[in-house]
């Protein structure tokens, strides 16, 4: 055989052997590699002991075979058996160890039902174990029936189980309960009540699903709940009228799933516009807010709905005496979760006692109240139609383990239509008011590596207020109309990079772009007196560019340092600002910490008082952008120092603060004596917030006290002397008691506070103008009331998957007639003689409410 033939034969053998080898199953593959490939291909998870699969190899071909076929082939080549505990999880066992078993479970928070991720599951006899995944799921293989399993999670009480208790299918749901405090992380839970936590960064965290009962509330209303915190109050006795350490409501930043809210309440402030049953957590900053929060000079309320894909369908529905609601959250697959919620008032169909009480408070001293009184006569009649609705939806998408994308949507509607007429149809009026706030946000969280992540978000928020008044008379050319509109279109983009230096420190750097367009208009048409007709409109646009950075050091035991800086450029005013932020908290002694903050802030959109529709008496404020004319940029700087003491279920928290606000105007403040005078001034605020709390088993009590002194100063008003603001509450005191007895909860709270200042009218001059004393030199009588709440929880089925709750709340138990505001006007008797009229705006009287809820 010559060499050419020999070489050709050898090549043929090699090629044929190679082809044959490709048709044969791949041999000697590690079983761990096969499991990994199957997990990726079939979206499943194997659970096994490393010792069980160490050095085990198989010869198997995976292409073109379903999962069950592959598992059968593995069984024939190994000593393994497979136990399928769900569609996703498979436990690998040694078939020769017949006495061994497998355990699994889902770990959940006992109140919120939220999965607890990265919890420790330990086999005590072997000192080995696992952790829970994002669904709270865990599984353990090769267990003896009497092996003891310890389940623990930071901040929660641990539990012990025997392995044989966790072998039931489907896997057992295990609920953990929070500690009352976690001192080594300077974090206090059950701050005021269960579900309220004082965080390490100085913020107050609230979980509505965990929130214990509060006096006067049957439901965890988002904005009413935070008013129990020292330093936060509502002189107007509304949910939305939140004053944080002397600031006004329009100076707060309120975010709902990243969407900025310009109207945060229903029914003119009485009920917050956020459904608490889909809200996962709320962060409240009275001071020390991070650099990523911009365009505000007072408090921050950051509200987030559930941000995880639930492992089962959850939902609920219920009603109280003002509205009904329902919500549901579920997953479409392991990567996509969705949730929906809706609320609607039924007061346009049923006039309950609770709604009547709310109406009496809201409509007093308005045209609606005047028409009501006249309609008692046979000559007149009126009709008042009001309703509200809100709707939320959310989609969570996790395409990879490193990415999470969420889409959030919000819609709120408030509509009031008031009709008044002479019964002979000779004269009729109609007032129509619509207040809407819609928006959506898109968020993307990307973990680039273990130490680098990125948060990117975009939101669009639209606020629209429209008011229309029409008066029609039989006589020709006597018709009248007035209209007001205020609209905001706000688009915002923000991206932030987080760099984790080590386990105790990290820093952020980010950029924010905001495009805000604000429009308002006023129009009046009077056919009988056309000389009084007018039309006014203004439209402005501002683009904000902001760059911010923040460094955080937290050693989890002794110190927390948060140092940030933010730069803001406002295009409308062409002004550039620097806004540094600092928050410190450090341990001085065991169970004793000191804290402090320093912050500079700016805000370029605020509310102004308008008088063109004052006779209607509702919503007499408009949003306007800062300009270089009569709406200055608001600026504030605040310094806070304090301490925390925590020991043996005692908590003491003290803050002392000083704040100076610049850019305050008489147009935004609204003083009766200077309505036609424009002046720019300052507000110097000093205050103390104090809390002492004690818990005894199922009973807890707390006392909170706030002192606040705000001095307004205008160069050309009150001879340049300072005076208190219209809503200044010098002293605010709460004493609250909570008791839990089985499935019952009771809460009783007494609130005492100073009356707000007012300018006293003493008479009329020769031209029938009101004569006033010095601005806000008098105070209304002190305010106080007692509130009570109770709830009873129960199971609706034997498996405890359906739960119910009924509740009762009593506001102002002893029916105290508190005065919230005092105003003056001029009236004339039947002889044409003028006289001074004093009108008091009263608080809610005794107001009961009931609630019934079902959760599954």
pLDDT per residue as tens digits for the range 505-554: 999 999 999 999 999 999 988 887 888 888 889 999 999 999 999 999 98
Nearest-angstrom CA–CA distance, 548 and 727: 33
Could you report the per-residue pLDDT of 1-21, keeping only the tens digit for each?
Answer: 454 544 444 444 344 444 434
Nearest-angstrom CA–CA distance, 796 and 856: 9
Residue 218 and residue 212 in contact, taking contact as beta carbons nearer than 8 Å: no
- pLDDT recorded at residue 21: 41
Virtual torsion, Cα 36, 38, 42, 45, nearest 10 deg: -50
Nearest-angstrom CA–CA distance, 738 and 340: 32
71: domain CATH number? 3.55.50.30
- pLDDT recorded at residue 9: 42
* Encoded tokens for 818: 């508190």
Last residue of a domain, one of 96, 117, 152: 96
371: phi then psi, degrees, rounded to nearest 5: -65, -35
- Which positions ≥6 away from 599 have C-beta within 8 Å? 287, 288, 289, 579, 580, 581, 582, 637, 638
- pLDDT recorded at residue 155: 72
Nearest-angstrom CA–CA distance, 165 and 160: 10
Residue 640 and residue 655 in contact, taking contact as beta carbons nearer than 8 Å: yes
- pLDDT recorded at residue 815: 96
**Whether residue 837 has pLDDT greater than 80:** yes
Within 13 Å of residue 415, how many CA atoms lie on the same side as its CB? 10
Mode of pairing for the β-strands spanning 403-422 and 427-447? antiparallel
**Whether residue 637 has pLDDT greater than 70:** yes
Q: Which residues pair with 837 in a beta bridge?
A: 825
3-state secondary structure 119-130: CEEEECCCCEEE
Is residue 218 assigned to a domain?
A: no
**Whether residue 639 has pLDDT greater than 50:** yes
* Encoded tokens for 749: 């709270």
Under the banding of pLDDT at 50, 70 and 90, the label for residue 62 is confident
Query: How many residues can be counted in the chain?
Result: 856
- pLDDT recorded at residue 480: 85
Mean of the pLDDT values across residues 88-112? Answer: 74
Q: What angle do CA 537, 543, 544 make, to 5 degrees?
A: 130
Mean of the pLDDT values across residues 346-353? Answer: 88
Domain that holds residue 313: 300-855
Residue 709 and residue 687 in contact, taking contact as beta carbons nearer than 8 Å: yes
- DSSP symbol at 667: H
368: phi then psi, degrees, rounded to nearest 5: -65, -40
Instruction: Return the closest-CA partner of residue 636 out of 580, 705, 553.
Output: 580
Question: Percent of the chain beyond pLDDT 70?
Answer: 92
Report which of residues 405 and 136 the model is more confident about.
405
Is residue 314 assigned to a domain?
A: yes
Nearest-angstrom CA–CA distance, 668 and 610: 9
- pLDDT recorded at residue 69: 85
> Quick one: which H or E segment has residue 535?
strand 534-554
* Encoded tokens for 852: 């019934």
- pLDDT recorded at residue 85: 64
Phi/psi-derived region of residue 426, left when phi > 0, alpha when psi is between -120 and 50, beta in every other case: alpha
Nearest-angstrom CA–CA distance, 851 and 322: 10
- pLDDT recorded at residue 183: 44
- pLDDT recorded at residue 116: 85
Is residue 248 assigned to a domain?
A: no
Q: How many CB atoms lie within 10 A of CB 225?
A: 24
* Rg value, the chain, Cα: 33
Mode of pairing for the β-strands spanning 204-206 and 172-176? unpaired
Q: How many CB atoms lie within 10 A of CB 55?
A: 7
Residue 647 and residue 591 in contact, taking contact as beta carbons nearer than 8 Å: yes
741: domain CATH number? 2.40.170.20
Mode of pairing for the β-strands spanning 101-109 and 120-123? unpaired
Mode of pairing for the β-strands spanning 253-256 and 300-305? parallel
The string over 336-357, giving b where at least 16 C-beta atoms fall within 10 Å of a residue's C-beta and e elsewhere, is ebbbbbbbbbebeeeebebbeb
- Which positions ≥6 away from 431 have C-beta within 8 Å? 367, 368, 416, 417, 418, 467, 468, 469, 616
Could you report the per-residue pLDDT of 471-484, keeping only the tens digit for each?
Answer: 888 766 678 888 99
| C-alpha distance from residue 532 to each of 145, 199, 428, 467, 475 (Å) | 90, 57, 21, 19, 19
* Encoded tokens for 55: 């050095």
Name the least confident of 53-62, 109-118, 738-747. 109-118
How many domains are there within the chain?
2
**Whether residue 308 has pLDDT greater than 70:** yes
532: phi then psi, degrees, rounded to nearest 5: -90, 0
Under the banding of pLDDT at 50, 70 and 90, the label for residue 613 is low
Residue 572 and residue 540 in contact, taking contact as beta carbons nearer than 8 Å: yes
Report which of residues 220 and 228 the model is more confident about.
228
Residue 278 and residue 341 in contact, taking contact as beta carbons nearer than 8 Å: yes
- pLDDT recorded at residue 23: 41
Virtual torsion, Cα 218, 224, 228, 231, nearest 10 deg: 180
Q: Which residues pair with 152 in a beta bridge?
A: 120
Measured between its terminal Cα atoms, the distance across the chain in Å is 85
Q: What does 624-663 look like in DSSP terms, one character per residue?
A: EE--SSSSPPEEEEEEEEEEEEEETTEEEEEEEEEEEEEE
Question: Residue written as tokens 């307004």?
Answer: 712
Mean of the pLDDT values across residues 626-641? Answer: 93
Mean of the pLDDT values across residues 836-848? Answer: 94
Report which of residues 7 and 433 the model is more confident about.
433
Range 131-134, long-range pairs (CB < 8 A, 24+ positions): 132/107, 134/308, 134/309
Name the least confident of 38-52, 388-402, 687-701, 803-817. 38-52
119: phi then psi, degrees, rounded to nearest 5: -75, 155
87: phi then psi, degrees, rounded to nearest 5: -65, -20
Could you report the per-residue pLDDT of 278-301, keeping only the tens digit for each?
Answer: 999 999 999 999 999 999 999 999
Three-state DSSP class for residue 362: helix
**Whether residue 209 has pLDDT greater than 70:** yes
| C-alpha distance from residue 454 to each of 384, 402, 448, 627, 714 (Å) | 51, 10, 7, 34, 46
Is residue 154 assigned to a domain?
A: no
Last residue of a domain, one of 96, 112, 142: 96
- pLDDT recorded at residue 324: 96
Within 13 Å of residue 854, how many CA atoms lie on the same side as its CB? 8
Nearest-angstrom CA–CA distance, 500 and 449: 10
Mean of the pLDDT values across residues 188-215? Answer: 86
* Encoded tokens for 830: 């039947």
Nearest-angstrom CA–CA distance, 96 and 100: 9
- pLDDT recorded at residue 1: 45
- pLDDT recorded at residue 674: 58
Mean of the pLDDT values across residues 622-643? Answer: 94
* Encoded tokens for 802: 């359906």
Residue 137 and residue 108 in contact, taking contact as beta carbons nearer than 8 Å: no
> Quick one: which H or E segment has residue 416?
strand 403-422
**Whether residue 99 has pLDDT greater than 70:** no
Mode of pairing for the β-strands spanning 621-625 and 770-772? unpaired
**Whether residue 779 has pLDDT greater than 80:** yes
**Whether residue 841 has pLDDT greater than 70:** yes
What pTM does this model have?
0.83
**Cα 342 from chain centroid (whole Å):** 16
- pLDDT recorded at residue 535: 87
**Whether residue 25 has pLDDT greater than 50:** no
Q: What does 2-63 look like in DSSP terms, one character per residue?
A: -HHHHHHHHHHHHHHHHHHHHHSPEEEEEHHHHHHHHHHHHT-EEE--HHHHTT-EEEE--T
* Encoded tokens for 770: 């009101």
Report which of residues 219 and 395 the model is more confident about.
395
- pLDDT recorded at residue 678: 74
Q: What angle do CA 443, 555, 454 make, to 5 degrees?
A: 20
Mean of the pLDDT values across residues 204-222? Answer: 88
- DSSP symbol at 115: B
Under the banding of pLDDT at 50, 70 and 90, the label for residue 490 is very high
Is residue 424 assigned to a domain?
A: yes
Last residue of a domain, one of 34, 68, 96: 96
Is residue 167 assigned to a domain?
A: no
Virtual torsion, Cα 771, 775, 778, 780, nearest 10 deg: 100
* Encoded tokens for 275: 């459904």
Is residue 77 assigned to a domain?
A: yes
Is residue 352 assigned to a domain?
A: yes
Nearest-angstrom CA–CA distance, 631 and 619: 19
Name the least confident of 97-106, 656-665, 703-712, 783-792. 97-106
**Whether residue 575 has pLDDT greater than 90:** yes
- pLDDT recorded at residue 612: 63
Q: How many CB atoms lie within 10 A of CB 660?
A: 14
**Whether residue 611 has pLDDT greater than 70:** no
- pLDDT recorded at residue 630: 84
């Amino acid at each position: 055989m010559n060499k050419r033939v020999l070489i050709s034969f050898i090549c043929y053998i090699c090629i044929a052997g190679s082809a044959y080898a490709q048709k044969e199953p791949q041999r000697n593959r590690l079983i761990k590699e096969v499991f990994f490939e199957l997990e990726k291909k079939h979206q499943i998870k194997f659970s096994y002991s490393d010792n069980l699969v160490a050095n085990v190899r198989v010869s198997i071909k995976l292409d073109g075979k379903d999962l069950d076929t592959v598992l059968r082939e593995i069984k024939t080549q190994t000593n393994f058996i497979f136990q399928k505990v769900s569609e996703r999880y498979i436990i690998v066992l040694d078939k020769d160890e017949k006495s061994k078993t497998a355990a699994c479970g889902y770990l959940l928070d006992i109140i919120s039902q939220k999965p607890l991720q990265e919890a420790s599951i330990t086999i005590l006899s072997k000192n080995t174990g696992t952790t829970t995944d994002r669904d709270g799921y865990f599984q353990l293989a090769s267990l003896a029936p009497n092996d003891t399993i310890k389940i623990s999670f930071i901040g929660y009480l641990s539990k012990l189980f025997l392995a044989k208790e966790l072998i039931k299918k489907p896997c057992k749901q295990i609920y953990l309960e929070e500690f009352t405090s976690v001192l080594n992380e300077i974090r206090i839970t059950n701050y005021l009540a269960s579900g309220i936590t004082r965080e390490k960064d100085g913020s107050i965290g609230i979980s509505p699903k965990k929130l214990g009962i509060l006096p006067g509330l049957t439901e965890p209303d988002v904005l009413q709940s935070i008013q129990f915190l020292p330093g936060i109050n509502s002189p107007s006795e509304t949910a939305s009228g939140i004053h944080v350490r002397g600031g006004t409501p329009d100076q707060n930043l309120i975010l709902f799933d990243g969407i900025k809210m310009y109207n945060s309440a229903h029914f003119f402030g009485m009920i917050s516009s956020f459904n608490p049953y889909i809200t996962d957590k709320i962060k409240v900053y009275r001071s020390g807010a991070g650099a990523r929060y911009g365009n505000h000079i007072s408090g921050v309320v950051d509200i987030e709905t559930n941000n995880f894909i639930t492992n089962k369908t959850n939902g609920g529905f219920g009603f109280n005496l003002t509205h009904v609601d329902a919500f549901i959250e579920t997953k479409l697959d392991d990567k996509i979760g969705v949730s929906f919620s809706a609320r609607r008032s039924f007061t346009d169909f049923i006039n309950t006692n609770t709604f009547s009480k709310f109406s009496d408070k809201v409509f007093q001293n308005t045209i609606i109240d005047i028409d009501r009184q006249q309609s008692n006569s046979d000559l007149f009649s009126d009709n008042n139609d009001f309703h509200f609705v809100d709707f939320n939806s959310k989609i969570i998408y996790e395409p990879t383990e490193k990415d999470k994308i969420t889409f959030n949507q919000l819609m709120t509607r408030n509509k009031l239509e008031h009709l008044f007429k002479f019964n002979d149809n000779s004269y009729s009026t109609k007032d129509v008011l619509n207040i809407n706030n819609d928006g959506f946000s898109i968020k993307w969280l990307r973990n680039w590596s273990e130490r680098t992540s990125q948060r990117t978000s975009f939101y669009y928020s639209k606020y629209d207020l429209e008011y229309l008044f029409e008066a029609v008379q039989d006589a020709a050319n006597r018709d009248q109309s007035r209209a007001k509109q205020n609209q905001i279109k706000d688009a915002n983009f923000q991206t932030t990079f987080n760099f984790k230096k080590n386990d105790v420190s990290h820093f952020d750097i980010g950029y924010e772009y905001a495009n805000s367009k604000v429009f308002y208009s006023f129009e009046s048409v009077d056919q009988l007196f056309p000389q009084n007709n007018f039309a006014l409109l203004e439209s402005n646009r501002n683009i904000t560019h902001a760059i911010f950075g923040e460094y955080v050091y937290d050693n989890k035991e002794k110190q927390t340092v948060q140092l940030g800086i933010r730069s803001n450029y406002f295009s409308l005013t062409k002004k550039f600002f620097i806004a540094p932020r600092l928050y410190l908290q450090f341990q001085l002694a065991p169970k004793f910490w000191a804290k402090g903050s320093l912050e500079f802030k700016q805000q370029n959109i605020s509310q102004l008082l308008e008088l063109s529709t004052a006779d209607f008496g509702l919503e007499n404020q408009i949003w306007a952008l800062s300009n270089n004319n009569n709406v200055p940029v608001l600026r504030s700087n605040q310094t806070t120092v304090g301490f925390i003491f925590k020991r043996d279920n005692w908590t003491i928290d003290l803050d002392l603060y000083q704040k100076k606000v610049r850019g305050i105007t008489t147009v935004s403040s609204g003083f009766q004596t200077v309505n036609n005078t424009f002046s720019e001034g300052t507000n110097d605020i000093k205050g103390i917030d104090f809390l002492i709390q004690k818990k005894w088993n199922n009973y807890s009590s707390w006392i909170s006290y706030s002192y606040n002194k705000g001095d307004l100063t205008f160069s050309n008003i009150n001879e340049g002397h300072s005076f208190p603001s219209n809503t200044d509450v010098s002293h605010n005191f709460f004493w609250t008691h909570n008791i839990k007895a089985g499935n019952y909860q009771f809460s009783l709270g007494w609130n005492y506070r100073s009356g707000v200042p007012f300018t006293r009218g003493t008479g009329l001059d020769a031209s029938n103008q009101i004569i006033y004393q010095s601005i806000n030199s008098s105070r209304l009588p002190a305010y106080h009331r007692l509130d009570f709440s109770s709830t009873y929880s129960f199971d609706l089925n034997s498996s405890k998957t359906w739960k119910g709750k009924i509740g009762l709340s009593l506001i102002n138990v002893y029916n105290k007639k508190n005065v919230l505001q005092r105003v003056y006007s001029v009236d004339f008797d039947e002889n044409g003689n003028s006289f001074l009229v004093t009108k008091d705006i009263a608080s809610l009287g005794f107001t009961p409410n009931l609630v019934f809820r079902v959760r599954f």
